[in-house]
Amino acid sequence: MSSLTFSPRDGPEQRLDLSPLIAQNLAGKTVAEIERIEVGTTRVRVSAGDIFRIHDGDRDSILIESGAERFDRVGMGMTSGAIRVEGQVGVEAGRLMSGGALTIGGDAGPFAGSGMKGGTLEIKGNAGERLGGPLSGETIGMSGGVLHVRGDVGARAGDRLRRGFILIEGRAGAYAGSRMIAGTLAIGDEAGDLPGYLMSRGTILLGRGAALFSPTFGDCGEHDLVAAQLLANYVGQASAKLAGLFRQPLRRLAGDLAALGKGEILLPSR
Amino acid sequence: MPELMANGIAIDDTFAEAFDMRATAIVITAPTDRWAAQAATTMTGFATSVIACGCEAAVESVRSSEQTPDGRPGVRVLMFAVSTAELQKQLQNRVGQCVLTSPGSACYAGLDSGEDKLKLGDAIRFFGDGWQIAKRLGARRYWRVPVMDGEFVCESTTYLTKKAVGGGNLIVMGKSAAKTLAATEAAVEAMREIADVIMPFPGGIARSGSKVGSKYKGASASTNDPYCPTLKGAVDSALSPEIASVLEIVIDGLTSEAVAAAMRAGLAAIIELGAERGALRVGAGNYGGKLGRHHYHLKDLLP
């Protein structure tokens, strides 16, 4: 069966909340019922049928043709199935998702994968700030799953990461892995200032170092870590580039010693 | 006892009687084959019989670097005990004292499923004194415990099976010690090709098979005098005059099918070697069929 396909009519005149368009919400609904789902965010009421031409298909396989920067909360709260967006999306893509696979063909805005608990989120372009991080007032960020960005990301990627993997093949902004509780954050290229700022536990791998390191990380020297091989094998399922970074002697910086100090930053020694 | 003949070897029309046991498996890796084997050998020392060792354990197979979680050489160890509590105690003590301490070692679950779980790294992690780090990779969780040569990596748990069987056996009888040993060695070598079984006695062979009870108070087992060739003329012996040496292979398996497969492979190897170079007779140990629910009739296992 082909995918349930949403083909945008024209550029939306307001930001859209597409969080209702997920498999568990669409199961059992007819196309007409799906067209009546409200997706607007202003006083002007907008339904899915106003924005998209909807072609019937498998509710567990959703395709959004031609994304837009105003498509917010794509895949938010999804628990199963697959959603594929051919293009960019707005804020909070995949926020609080706990299962399934969300694929963004282009760029994603801030808070992509915010608080996600499981499943996989792949962003083929760049992502905005606070990737996987909590919204204001929330105490933990991402707590499970795999968040994979093939491009660059903004500041505070992995803020308050608690469990799961954030894999960034490009560069990261300042404060990557800030306040990390645990989990693993891998950055293929250079990170901005102060990675791991106030992290308690967890692992940050920096493929090409950082612009500025906090003096509150202690150099523990270079090591061949068995655990790095396990990480490489796991990360390799998503990114061969990042897996390769783990398969070499790594310099270990322990920190942030201004916080609990049981986290680590790993750096290739060559 | 009615006998079958195969390649000049008498096969007793009898059966091996085996018992339900609890079992687990772990994979030990190290920087080299030698150190993986060393850790496993140390861990499985003094683990021949539950009668006095607490468990029965041995190396089941050697794993290449492509077959281990961390890409290093390894071995798979099976461990059997009579209760879950005893198995947990033995696993914890032996991994803690023998694998954790071995240079460069790491330790992983060797069973991917089972009725219950046993603590592996979850029991050892406290050695890290607060510096241990947990890392969850998909469904698996590992502990990284800092030690003096780096880190000891240990999976948090391993599975336990309640379908394990202990006490499958073959009794190999020959006209000289050398020929009996040759036949028994051939059988053990063939059995080692079978997955999910171990032969826990030294080199897979026991020369001091036992009977239940003793004339002495406090001894739960004593020498199996009907099978002692030096007592042939003094007791109600099970041996004919030409038998001068008897050895036993005890087999523990994760499943009853694995034990049967190992016994079948061992019997085939003994028969292939023939009476001239090896055994004259093969039997099996049982307790009349009343104690263990697993009965392996030799006639059903002939090649």
Query: What proportion of chain B, given as a percentage, has pLDDT over 70?
Result: 99
The two tokens of residue A252 are: 């270990």
Q: Is A101 left (phi over 0), alpha (psi -120 to 50) or beta?
A: beta
Decide if B129 contacts B104 (C-beta within 8 A).
no
- Is residue A233 less than 8 Å (CB to CB) from chain B? yes
Which two tokens mark B12? 């007793």
Residue A1: pLDDT band (50, 70, 90) is confident
Query: How many domains would you assign to chain B?
Result: 2
Yes or no, beta carbons of B70 and A230 under 8 Å apart: yes
> Do B116 and B197 share a domain, yes or no?
no
Contact A262 B72 (CB under 8 A): no
**Domain residue limits at B85:** 20-161
Verify that B146 and B224 share a domain, yes or no. Answer: no
> Given this model, what pLDDT does residue A270 score?
60
Dihedral sign computed on CA atoms, order B175, B177, B178, B184? positive
Give the count of beta carbons closer than 10 Å to the beta carbon of residue B270.
28
Distance (Å, rounded) from C-alpha A99 to C-alpha A95? 11
Of A201, A223, A227, the CB nearest to B142: A227
pLDDT number for residue B290: 80
Q: How far away is chain B from the Cα of A182, in angstroms, using its nearest Cα?
A: 9
- Do B74 and B149 reside in the same domain of the chain? yes
- Domain ends where: B115, B137, B161? B161
Q: Where among B141, B161, B181 does a domain terminate? A: B161
- Say yes or no: B203 and B245 in one domain: yes
Is A242's Cβ below 8 Å from some Cβ in B?
no
> If phi over 0 gives left and psi between -120 and 50 gives alpha, with beta otherwise, what is residue B272?
alpha
pLDDT in tens, A166-209: 999 999 999 999 999 999 999 999 999 999 999 999 999 999 99
- State whether B41 and B108 are in the same domain: yes
Q: Do B69 and A233 touch (CB under 8 A)?
A: yes
pLDDT digits (tens, 9 = 90+) for B261-282: 999 999 999 999 999 999 999 9
Same-domain check for residues B27 and B156: yes
Q: What percent of chain A has pLDDT over 70?
A: 100
CB-based contact B70 A201, cutoff 8 Å: no
* pLDDT at site B291: 79
Percent of chain B with pLDDT over 90: 91
> Least CA distance to A223: which residue of chain B?
B150
B1 pLDDT above the threshold of 60: no
- Enumerate the domain spans of chain A: 60-268
What CATH number has the domain bearing residue B134? 3.30.70.520
CA distance B265 to B191: 6
Band the pLDDT of B293: cuts 50, 70, 90.
very high
User: Rounded to an integer, what distance in angstroms lies between the CA atom of residue B221 and that of residue B231?
Assistant: 18
Q: Is B138 on the interface with A (CB under 8 A)?
A: yes
- Residue A11 has a pLDDT of 81
Look at residue B211 and tell me whether its pLDDT is greater than 90. no
Kindly state the tokens that stand for A201: 């536990």
Structure tokens of A71? 């498509």
Q: Chain B residues with CB inside 8 Å of A264's CB?
A: 133
What's the pTM value of the predicted model, to 2 decimals? 0.92
Contact B220, B212 (CB under 8 A): yes
Measured N-to-C along each axis, helices B177-191 and B256-277 cross at an angle, to the nearest 10 degrees, of 140
Q: Which residue has the tokens 């750096």?
A: A267
Provide the total of helices (H) and of strands (E) in chain B, helices listed first: 6, 17
Give the mean model confidence (pLDDT) for residues A108-122. Answer: 97
Select from B161, B183, B201 the last residue of a domain: B161
Q: Is A246 helix (H, G, I), strand (E, B) or coil?
A: helix
One domain for residues B132 and B218: no
Q: Is A182 on the interface with B (CB under 8 A)?
A: yes
Are B247 and B270 members of one domain? Answer: yes
**Does B156 share its domain with B170?**
no
One domain, residues B223 and B262: yes
A163 close to B (CB below 8 A) = yes
Which residues, 6+ apart, have CB-to-CB distance to A225 below 8 Å?
Answer: A250, A252, A266, B144, B150, B151
pLDDT band at A238; cut points 50, 70, 90: very high
Tell me the pLDDT tens digit for each residue of A122-167. Answer: 999 999 999 999 999 999 999 999 999 999 999 999 999 999 999 9
Task: Clarify whether residues B157 and B24 are in a common domain.
Answer: yes
Query: Residues B142-156: pLDDT tens digits?
Result: 999 999 999 999 999
Residue B2's pLDDT is what? 53
Collect all residues of chain B within an 8 Å Cβ-Cβ radius of residue A229. 70-72
Residues B261 and B187 in one domain: yes
User: Cβ contact (<8 Å) for B136 and A230?
Assistant: no
pLDDT band at A52 (very low <50, low <70, confident <90, very high): very high
Contact (CB<8Å) B137/A234: yes
Q: What is the fold of A60-268?
A: Pectate Lyase C-like (2.160.20)
B143: nearest Cα among B108, B94, B117: B108
Size of interface A-B (CB pairs under 8 A): 44
Give a three-class secondary structure readout of A23-60: HHHHCCCCHHHHHCCECCCCCCCCEHHHHEEEECCEEE
